[in-house]
Chain A
Amino acid sequence: MKLKIGNIPVKDVVLGSQDSFENGVLTINKQAAIDYLMELDDHITSLDIVIAHPGDDTRIVPVIETIEPRCRVDGRTLFPGVTDEIVPAGDGELKALKGICVTVVGGTWGSFGDGVIDMGGEGAKHTYWSKLINVCLVGETDEEFERYEQQKMNHALRWAGHRFAEYLGKIAKGIAAEEFEEYEFEPVADRAKKNNGLPNVALVMQPQSQMEALGYNDLWYGWDMNKYLPTFVSPTEVLDGAMISGSFMPASSKWSTYEMQNFPTIKELFAEDGKSLNFVGVIMSMLNVALDQKERAAVMVRNMALNLGVDYAIVTEEGYGNPDADYVRCQVILEDAGIPVVGISNECTGRDGFSQPLVTLDSKLNALVSSGNVSELSDLPACATVIGCLEAMNRDGMSGSWGYDENLGKSARDDGSIIMEDNNWFCGDHISGFSVKTMIEF
């Protein structure tokens, strides 16, 4: 499979009377976009589009999702099984608007998996999104069944976000890309390490699938990953929209859809493909909660790796806590099968830093990359502008925020300042590989 991504850098995004892309400036006809998105989903009761720039004194909360605006040159849908019918992903040509993201924001209501983005000040260092122009899609829905639930599917707003990303991508469909990324994934059986003597390396991805009820987990071609078993996939499928993010998992440990479209660890493995290693693909696993499900997944990952002739692997999880059991088990079973592993994840060492970093440990884990600590406290001043609703942090059970604490008070204070755990930065630990954080001993 060969995936070509034509990158179109975006200098600015403005709202105007007509959709256009000229001289690097994306202009969005706001009302037309809103009408289009509301027409496709009766459950959306109101929508707004707000632009936030890097450096703005702006706080965005509750953030539900981020997506890179793109379009397929052949007209195929951007997210098969989600925004349209199921068709193959993984080869062909995409155009991607670089330097911007669609940021889906709850206008009033947040949920457990939703997070915070600060565009400026000290808070901006906590997320990758702060470096992008955030085209915020802020909405309300009539999804009354989950209005006061801590876990929300946020179906209407998430789907609107994916449609909006494609809508924006199509505005630039006729624009010539400035540069191309090409990812060529040769059929595994057709290439052999005997040709170049390099070791075979697979990436084992463990996306979020913990919710037993359907509608909250990551989707693979629209399929809920709670009802899924480990599968061998092409890394280009992941980069080409075969998978979208879910609405569950503390925000800082999530992989958003943008991260799946640009999964940095996949890109770094491609950069080494044919040079120091043969990148033989992705074993896409999951993170179900029952022990037999965990063991079954680990066994299947192991056997797939053995049968593919994998010599080494990188294992990475979308989550922490219960998913650490899968993360550790999968590394141990691969090491035991003679496949040495590097793991990439975050840690939970507590506010004082003294707690066990993963819920389960094994001395066979001897090569780990740490992308952050969910328990660090952030205490930040008010921002001049809030996109969304700050009170959601106090009221809606967002991970890493609270409405009451006898020592710390509430997370969103009346003066607009906030105190929260790292847990609540949207994708803040960027386990996907964007993270420039590590963990050290103090």
Chain B
Amino acid sequence: MKKVICYVNQFFGGIGGEDKADQEPYIVEGVVGPTMAINAALKDAEVTHTVVCGDNFMGSNTEEALSRILGFLEGKEMDLFIAGPAFQAGRYGVACGNVCKAVKEKFGVPVLTSMNGENPGADMFKKDVIIFKGGTGAVKMRQDVKVLTNFANRLLAGEPNRGCEAEGYFERGCRHELFLEDIRENTAAYRGVQMLKKKMAGEPYQTELIIPEKDLVPIAAPVELKDAVVALVTTSGCVPVENPDRIQSASATRWGRYSIKDMDRLEAGVFKTIHAGYDPAAANADPNVLVPLDAVRAYEKEGKFKRLHDYFYTTVGTGTTEAEATRMAEEMIPYLREDGVNAIILGST
């Protein structure tokens, strides 16, 4: 029998309404309020414990509340964690999101919750947590619990996730492959021509890739060049020839920083590219076409800017995901900040 632990607020925990919203978190064995319905709907699984916490306490002492709740869960068997449903209750929705996220990060178990699309918790946490699309109020309890536990049962049975639309939870910007039945009508060629026919006829059709909103980085304000501490960063895969940090040639998850102190240029045979997305011949013959140390050093000597940072930073851009690129940049930034770098030349290929 799989073990499930639930979270509810003071109201659904049966303590009281707004007057009890400062309730500190506690944990009880078994079910409380709506977790009774969750327990009844679970197959081959039971709710072993329920955590209760006041919405105000969670809202104003979030770290403390989460730390205590994680403490309660320490050492307990848990295959799944369910919070809510929170409907349109704003503080409760945010609490469910916070608790689910913390439990997922700490224990690595699947976490589920449910709330209405108007609940601010939905937008705040839908990327981190599977949040089912819930009703506006407790009158939808039966229905919301049913949708959530249907998924929970299939998840616990090891059955595949059918995607957020089929399952009924909010889109998270998380896209994966789905294999369709192997028939002509499902081939990309057939789908493409059918989509075109609908587009031509002005009939509704569903694009398979909805273009998400742009995650644009604003263009930086101009720097005063004579005061600038400049650093060179590249996604060109320029590395010392032995590639000491074993940066991958494509789909990179690794990066390196290498000293250019006292160097006027990057010498061929000392540096090369390991990038697999372009012809390396010109770059290997003269690595300065990747990392323009020769030109930048000349400007430094002319006094065009204050000084060049002693390292260049490098990874490979081809096939590298935006998420990995963001993480690597965040790891580079402290080194750059520490040296007072205030201008970066980011080279691509």
Contacts and interface: CB of A to CB of B under 8 A. Distances in A.
By CB atoms of chain A within 10 A, which of B179, B209, B324 has the most? B209
Contact of B178 (A211, A374, A400, A439): A439
A269 B319 contact: no
Contact of A434 (B189, B319, B323): B189
B258 interface: no
B229 to A, nearest CB: 30
A367 B195 contact: yes
Interface stretch (A50-58, A346-354, A383-391): A346-354
A148 interface: no
A268 B207 contact: no
B177 A268 contact: no
B322 A356 contact: yes
B175 to A, nearest CB: 4
Contact of B251 (A125, A316, A361, A375): A375
A369 B179 contact: no
B192 A369 contact: yes
B277 A422 contact: no
16 contacts: A264-B187, A314-B192, A321-B318, A322-B318, A342-B196, A347-B175, A349-B176, A355-B322, A361-B211, A367-B207, A368-B208, A369-B192, A373-B176, A404-B246, A433-B189, A440-B176
A370 B163 contact: no
B200 interface: yes
B248 interface: yes
A441 B211 contact: no
A19 to B, nearest CB: 33
B202 to A, nearest CB: 10
A356 B209 contact: no
B284 to A, nearest CB: 11
Interface string A430-442: 1111111111111
B323 to A, nearest CB: 5
A71 B311 CA distance: 60
Contacts of A365: 207, 209, 211
Interface residues of A, number: 80
Given A438-B177, A441-B175, 19 more contacts: A125-B179, A151-B279, A272-B193, A277-B200, A314-B193, A342-B193, A344-B192, A348-B319, A351-B321, A355-B321, A356-B322, A367-B199, A369-B191, A431-B188, A437-B178, A438-B178, A438-B208, A439-B178, A442-B175
Interface of B: 127, 161, 163-165, 171-183, 186-193, 195-197, 199-200, 205, 207-209, 211-212, 214-215, 246, 248-251, 253, 276-279, 281, 318-319, 321-324
B188 A361 contact: no
A422 B177 contact: yes
Nearest to A249: B277
Nearest to B185: A436
B161 to A, nearest CB: 6
Given A376-B177, A439-B175, A442-B163, A357 B209 contact: yes
Nearest to B130: A442
Contact of A376 (B176, B183, B186, B199): B176
Contacts of A271: 193
A322 to B, nearest CB: 7
A349 to B, nearest CB: 4
A126 B220 CA distance: 44
A151 B323 CA distance: 27
A212 interface: yes
B173 A354 contact: yes
Nearest to B246: A404
- Nearest 3 A/B pairs, CB to CB: A433-B189, A350-B321, A355-B321
A267 B176 contact: no
Contact of A277 (B183, B197, B212): B197
A74 interface: no
Contacts of A376: 176-177
By CB atoms of chain A within 10 A, which of B178, B205, B248, B319 has the most? B319
